[in-house]
Amino acid sequence: MTLELPGRRVAPTLEAVAAEAGVSRSTVSRVVNGSSHVSPDVVTAVNAAIDRLNYIPNRAARSLANRQTMAIALVVPEDTQRFFGDPFFSEIMQGITSVLEDSDYVLNLQLARPDAPSEKTIRYLLGGNVDGAIVVSHHSGDDFFTTLDATIPVVFGGRPFDPEKHRNNYVDVDNAAGAALGTKHLLSLGRRRIATIAGPANMQAAIDRHDGWLATVREAGQDDSLVEYGDFTMAGGATAMRALLDRAPDLDAVFVASDLMATGAVAVLRARGKRVPEDVAVVGFDDSSAATSGEIALTTVHQPSREMGTEMARMLLALLRGERPDPERVMPTRLVIRDSA
């Protein structure tokens, strides 16, 4: 029995181009890589041969020889569902790809396990598949990522945990200040019982936003116990809102650590007969598309997600060039007032 496999075309090599053009492999390599020390007519001849043969350099061989892969990993320790569910990631990724488009690098998305990276992810990142990595949505609990840059340059989206242990490169906003901004707005509206729906306690941004709310509420001499935690999803925001209402039916405002969670919270408030913002004012965080796609346009703390993406990419590219960019890039937030508070 003969198993006939579809005959795949065999890619031409540098060697073949050299033969076709009647020069050495070194020379072909030089013109492929745009070296300046090649005579014009040789360049022409080689390029002609390349076109004729439809030559494309083999990346494995190239990266083995020069120890560059020209690939960057975007590592997101979240499952597919949450990755696609939160517009924040979409915007970050748009920012990143917009700068990588103009570079020679390709982006490889790696969805990792939220708890700790799998063996496969580790081998991928350490096995010479990429020249650098951007890690977004980092959770505490393992420090593989924070120590990864002993091997390849890494930029974090969001200040990583344990900054004293190791100084990582990151771009972030001042989450505490942003949360304070949102909470103060609630205070200025005369609200006196302001709850918060915080993000998961194993994420630095969630902790910082919680802290910003906490400090503001304390400073105002208000109850600082109205906290519930969500997982940055709509469903998580809804569950937290229910718990909050059960504990404090008289709350009159809630600062929510993400727009997606705020959307879930608003739905619950309405279902329980609360008017937003009359009975309960709601402030979100992100100013992503989720802020304006729900039942009511959310007043929210804006963070420049797309620009954060471009900054991450730029920072990594600088590191890859051997430069030493400022390792900490903190971008501004601002309050966007809409209908929910």
37 part of the interface to DNA, by CB under 7 A: yes
Q: Which of 8, 9, 36, 225 binds DNA (CB under 7 A)?
A: 36
**Which strands sit side by side in the sheet containing 334-336, from one edge to the other?**
227-229, 194-198, 253-256, 281-286, 299-302, 334-336
Q: How far is the CB of 59 from DNA (least distance, A)?
A: 8
Binder to a second copy among 19, 38, 53, 108 (CB under 8 A)? 108
**Closest residue by Cα to residue 60 from 69, 48, 51:** 69
Among 1, 5, 65, 150, binds DNA (CB under 7 A): 65
Here the tokens at position 307 are: 């620009």
54 makes contact with DNA (CB under 7 A): no
CB 91 within 8 A of CB 137: no
Amino acid at 15: E
Tell me which of 44, 48, 52, 64 binds DNA, using CB under 7 A. Answer: 64
Q: Is 190 in the site for a second copy (CB under 8 A)?
A: no
Q: Give how many residues touch DNA by CB under 7 A.
A: 27
Assess 42 for contact with DNA (CB under 7 A).
Answer: yes
Token duo for residue 230: 């969500």
Residue 60 lies near a second copy (rule: CB under 8 A): yes
Using DSSP's 3-state secondary structure scheme, residue 157 falls into: strand
Candidate ranges 21-29, 167-175, 253-261, 311-319; the one touching DNA (CB under 7 A): 21-29
Q: Which helix (H) or strand (E) holds 76?
A: strand 71-76
Q: Which 74-93 positions form the footprint of a second copy (CB under 8 A)?
A: 80-81, 84-85, 87, 89-90, 93
* Min CB(259)–a second copy separation in Å: 15
How far apart, in whole angstroms, are the C-alpha atoms of residue 199 and residue 185? 20
Spatial contact of 117 and 144, defined as CB atoms under 8 Å apart: yes
d(CA 57, CA 50): 10
122-161 footprint of a second copy as x/- string (CB under 8 A) = xxx-xxxx-------------------xxxxx--------
| CB within 8 Å of 139: residues ≥ 6 apart | 77, 114, 115, 200, 202, 203
Q: Is residue 58 within the footprint of DNA (CB under 7 A)?
A: yes
- Count residues binding a second copy (CB under 8 A): 46
Indicate the DSSP class of residue 166. S
Among 61, 109, 201, 271, binds DNA (CB under 7 A): 61
Which pair of tokens denotes residue 175?
Answer: 């989450």
- Interaction partner, residue 44 (DNA, a second copy, none; CB < 5-8 Å by kind): none
If binding is defined by CB under 8 A, does position 64 make contact with a second copy?
Answer: yes
Of the candidates 38, 189, 220, 331, which one interacts with DNA according to CB under 7 A?
38
Q: For residue 33, what is the DSSP state?
A: T
Q: Which of 19, 47, 53, 57 binds DNA (CB under 7 A)?
A: 57
Q: Are 200 and 189 spatial neighbours (Cβ–Cβ below 8 Å)?
A: no
Phi–psi pair at 229, nearest 5 degrees: -105, 140
Structure tokens at 166: 């190791």
Binds DNA by CB under 7 A, chosen from 19, 32, 116, 331: 32
Within 10 angstroms of residue 228's Cβ, the number of other Cβ atoms is: 21
The residues of the shown chain that bind a second copy, judged by CB under 8 A, are: 3, 5-6, 8-9, 11, 56-61, 63-64, 69, 80-81, 84-85, 87, 89-90, 93-94, 97, 101, 106, 108-111, 120, 122-124, 126-129, 149-153, 322, 324
